[in-house]
Structure 1
Amino acid sequence: MSAGLLAAIVGFASSFAIVLQGLNATGANAAEATSGLMALSISMGLCAIVASLRTKMPVSIAWSTPGAALLASAGPVDGGFGAAVGAFVICAILIILAGLIRPFGKAVAAIPAPLANAMLAGVLFGLCLAPVKAVAELPVSALIVIGTWALAFRFLRLYAVPLAMAATFAIALYVSGPVDLSSAELISKPVLIKPEFSIEALVSIALPLFIVTMASQNIPGIAVMRAYGYDPHSGPLFTLSGVFSLFSAPFGGHAVNLAAITAAMCAGEDAHKDPRQRYWAAVTAGVIYVLFGLFTGLVMALVAVTPSILIEAVAGLALLGALAFSIGEATKSADTRDSAIITFAVTASGVSFFGVSGAFWGLLAGGAFMALTRIARTS
């Protein structure tokens, strides 16, 4: 439960600003953007609960952060936010179809385990540097958080991360003073937006959003679960995420998908010693996401006064074990070590091409090199 709580806090707090920026950039007003954030949070929470209880696996769900970044760069289209919502609907339908097409699921299942672990290590690497960056940016606050984590890790390992997060919020409240809730609504209000469909929105939003969500989130999300020894059927999970994306679209939500970073929090050993019990972490995260969605205004008021670097630092501390595990598994075999290192380097670089993040290109580069080396050995 503590792992799920942390995953939800990190998943929401670390990227909600990007989501708001993306929705605003496509023409949403303040009420529509808040509605979109609420719809996404509730949808990904319900999706995580349904998927995890049904599969008995820690299926972590997130909103499409790369997709939100894409929206921010794409800007508004003719027809305003209604046209963008129409593009969200089309994207959701495409994700559903991708899950129903079996060859696509088979392609995901064919990703070699060393490359999946290397990709996971690359995804985690940047966030695991956050504690060091936090010390450089906020030395006193960061050292208090890290010290709290280290002492708890030594004596109360199960509570190390929750105590570090509690210390983070305590510092934020001490520095900022009482949180001003006078302008925050107790319960968020959904806004129903009528979708409009246009070729421009299809080309500039729907198709790129679909590609980015699948390549940067859904495929890595399956790979992360496989890296921890789970064997999920990718097709039904893709379809389920598409269905919940479709539910959130009319209220301004762009897309929900399988998570990668928070998946490592829920699927790792710190969540539970028994892998068969770790799905409760994802269920807990789902419940917290739903609550965040219902009380989006209040949550945003608290998170707004907390330095994002400290939240990222706690996430980095929580993921150190996952990083060590994934690097060890990726480099265990000498035959695939070079391919794994290429995957790790490309993924960790953080570069993106055509709006698709390094996680996808890392898998592609490592897989191409692995195929090349195998051909060379057989020739």
Structure 2
Amino acid sequence: MKIKFSHISTGFIAVFIGYASAAAIIFQAATSAGASQEQITSWFWALGIGMGVSTISLSWHFKQPIVTAWSTPGAALLVTSLQDVTVGQAVAAFMLCSALITLVGVLGWFDKLLSQIPTAIASAMLAGVLLQFGLGIFTALLDEWLLVVVMLAVYIIAKVHWGHYLIPGILVIAILLSALTGKLDTSMMEFGLSTPTFISPDFQWLTLVSVGIPLFIVTMASQNLPGFAVLKANGYQVNASRIITVTGLTGLILAPLGGFAFNLAALTGAICMSDNADKDPKLRYLAAIAMGVFYLLAGVFAASFVSLFTLVPSAVVMTLAGLALMPTLCRCLMNALVDSTDKEPALMAFLLTASGINLLGIASAFWGLLLGMICYWLQQKSMAVA
């Protein structure tokens, strides 16, 4: 086992993209519950430590790139759900959510569900998710055309020659160009260690039902299901029950400190499963472990780490994510359409997922996967009758 630069750089970029794209939502959610500045910092401390420990332990145990993350759709749900809720009541709801996730893991329901999903459908769903990031490269042109054009040009020209240094190199160039054009914002930078703050849970049945259960449903449907589909689409077979149990227990332990929900990652997980991490799929778990280390650093230096991602324009983050996920998107499209039998169900899953619609508070990835499976099952029945 040898740690490569590609493992470290991929791990950092995955964390960079994850935090830059969703940290603001976490901040809004904590603010909605009336959390103090110390409590908000504790939320990020708990999330960083929880994601770091679980990612490192799971990836090392299974020798596969198993990346955990906070529930971004769950955080978006909390922004509106916690407005009339105290921090203590919110923590109690977090504990219920994690307890339900743990129960699902212990009962082994997820393994049975995943075994029924064809690789083509899983790949199509993931391609639908990643398509938004690919398109984001070009929509970002409207905001920062010079930065995006330079990043895209470097990607196209240097792709063959730079190898694993390509995405890190593009990030460095984007930061330097942002500084030269006066787009590097250092006004929000903070430095210093962060400390956890214990928040005593306040169990109120109304909050448990109205916040805890929806958070559980959104986390399972919009995060865990796509997360495991990403692993399946990339050829990794895992024990879903153990992973679900670990994320649930992590949430139970860290909920009083602000760890509202932990789950399997889809987007950042896909980054660690790409060719940019390692040409050998069997060694990509080292990129996930490197990512876990950066998670830990993000927890220990929570305030400093979060402020780091406010430096560059959002267009840079969007473009970097799209370029980093390009190889994975290509592979998913190929896997989804390679089998003539599953092409139409896979296409249905891809289109609905790519639409980005949100029904009943659940993201399009779940509905795309559901539609693809329905089409697949109906097609299999029709073929059996014929």
TM-score bin, normalised by smaller chain: over 0.9
Q: Which residue of 1 aligns with 2:33?
A: 26
**Do the aligned partners of 2:32 and 2:82 also contact (CA within 8 Å) in 1?**
yes
Shift of residue 152, structure 1, vs aligned partner? 2.9
1:156 and 1:268 map into 2 onto residues whose CA distance is 16
Unaligned runs of 5+ in 2: 1-6
Please state if 1:36 is matched with 2:27. Answer: no
Give per-residue Cα distances to partners, 1:169-210, cap 9 Å, x unaligned: 2234442567247x7341112211001111111111110001
Q: Which residue of 2 aligns with 1:369?
A: 375
5 Å-filtered alignment, 1:172-191, equals 172-174=178-180, 175-176=182-183, 179-180=186-187, 184-191=190-197
2:160 to 154, 160, 182: 154
Please state if 1:206 is matched with 2:212. Answer: yes
Shift of residue 308, structure 1, vs aligned partner? 1.5
Letter in 1 for 2:98: A
5 Å-filtered alignment, 1:225-374, equals 225-374=231-380
Q: Which residue of 2 aligns with 1:63?
A: 70
Q: Helix, strand or coil for the counterpart of 2:242?
A: helix
**Do the aligned partners of 1:149 and 1:163 also contact (CA within 8 Å) in 2?**
no
Q: Helix, strand or coil for the counterpart of 1:15?
A: helix
Distance change >3 Å, CA 5–CA 271, structure 1 → 2: same
**Do the aligned partners of 1:43 and 1:244 also contact (CA within 8 Å) in 2?**
yes
Shift of residue 314, structure 1, vs aligned partner? 0.5
1:43 and 1:309 map into 2 onto residues whose CA distance is 29
Letter in 2 for 1:310: V
Letter in 1 for 2:194: S
Q: Which residue of 2 aligns with 1:144?
A: 150
Runs of 4+ in 1 over 4 A off after TM superposition: none
Moved more, 148-157 or 215-224: 148-157
Shift of residue 324, structure 1, vs aligned partner? 0.8
1:123 to 116, 125, 129: 129
Distance change >3 Å, CA 167–CA 203, structure 1 → 2: same
Q: How many residues align?
A: 377
Q: Helix, strand or coil for the counterpart of 2:309?
A: helix
1:36 and 1:178 map into 2 onto residues whose CA distance is 24
Q: Helix, strand or coil for the counterpart of 1:355?
A: coil
Aligned identity (percent) is 37
1:308 and 1:46 map into 2 onto residues whose CA distance is 28
Q: Which residue of 1 aligns with 2:82?
A: 75
Shift of residue 253, structure 1, vs aligned partner? 1.9
Q: Which residue of 1 aligns with 2:3?
A: none
**Do the aligned partners of 1:180 and 1:301 also contact (CA within 8 Å) in 2?**
no
Give per-residue Cα distances to partners, 1:98-156, cap 9 Å, x unaligned: 10112332112321111000011011010111211122211111122222333331311
Distance change >3 Å, CA 139–CA 176, structure 1 → 2: closer
Q: Which residue of 2 aligns with 1:102?
A: 108
Letter in 2 for 1:337: K
Unaligned runs of 5+ in 1: none
1:54 to 27, 51, 61: 61
Q: Helix, strand or coil for the counterpart of 1:333?
A: coil
Letter in 1 for 2:170: A
**Do the aligned partners of 2:184 and 2:312 also contact (CA within 8 Å) in 1?**
no
2:53 and 2:82 map into 1 onto residues whose CA distance is 29
Distance change >3 Å, CA 177–CA 70, structure 1 → 2: closer
